[in-house]
Amino acid sequence: MGMLRRELIRRIAPMIFLCFVFSSPVHAQSENQEVSNYYLNGNLGFGMIYGGLGSNVELGKGHFSGFGSFGYATKRVVDTTTINSTWNYMLGLRYYINANSDILFPRVGLGYGWITNYYTDQLANVDYMQKVEGLSLHLGVQFYTLDGLVVNFDLGMASNLAITQVDQHPYFFDFYLRPMIGVGYGITNLFGDADRSKHIKNKTIRPSY
């Protein structure tokens, strides 16, 4: 019986070893694929993070992402003052908060770039720069579906304490608040992977993080 057992082990051991060797890379590849998940979104909308009326592109992994935007602020008239049109940009970072949801992703962001083109009654006879740039804070939420549709609602906040060329922007607001809305598509869905759910952010933003 002992000799039979040793012979059986001798024959089975190489097969177990080969199964381990060939299965390990597959398992490692699966783990690496999960860890390396990323997302790329393109959006159109209005507000600070869209440069007025424009586009916003976001690239991220897990909780964090970076974004860039380029847009156009139209010409308008306030009272008798004409506020000229401008081309604008913004660059920034975001952090997504885990809400343990498959569709809802609260987020907070910080950006640098265009804030607004402004006018107040106090500027009636003052020479000033209409276009305001600086730091802005963004609080909002993103909805992300398996079909790849992305919808964003954010509030953009800024202050005269965090703008550039302060002396050129007299009477700019102590606190400035504006809504921002965008609609876009998860570009990652176009990368030829049949399992689209692997690119949804909630797959890498986990409750245990």
Q: Are 9 and 107 in a shared domain?
A: no
Q: Are 154 and 80 in a shared domain?
A: yes
pLDDT for 125? 79
Q: Are 115 and 20 in a shared domain?
A: no
Domain containing 146: what range?
39-203
In tens, the pLDDT along 123-159 reads 877 889 999 999 999 999 999 877 788 999 999 999 9
Q: Are 30 and 50 in a shared domain?
A: no
pLDDT for 101? 83
**Stretch 27-35: mean pLDDT:** 38
Q: Which residue has the tokens 């209005």?
A: 46
Structure token digits, residue 73:
């602020």
Distance between CA atoms of residues 185 and 40, nearest Å: 9
Q: Within a domain: residue 209?
A: no
Distance between CA atoms of residues 116 and 93, nearest Å: 19
In tens, the pLDDT along 34-87 reads 444 788 999 999 999 999 999 999 999 889 999 999 999 999 998 888 999 999
Residue 151: CATH number of its domain: 2.40.160.20
The number of folded domains in the chain is 2
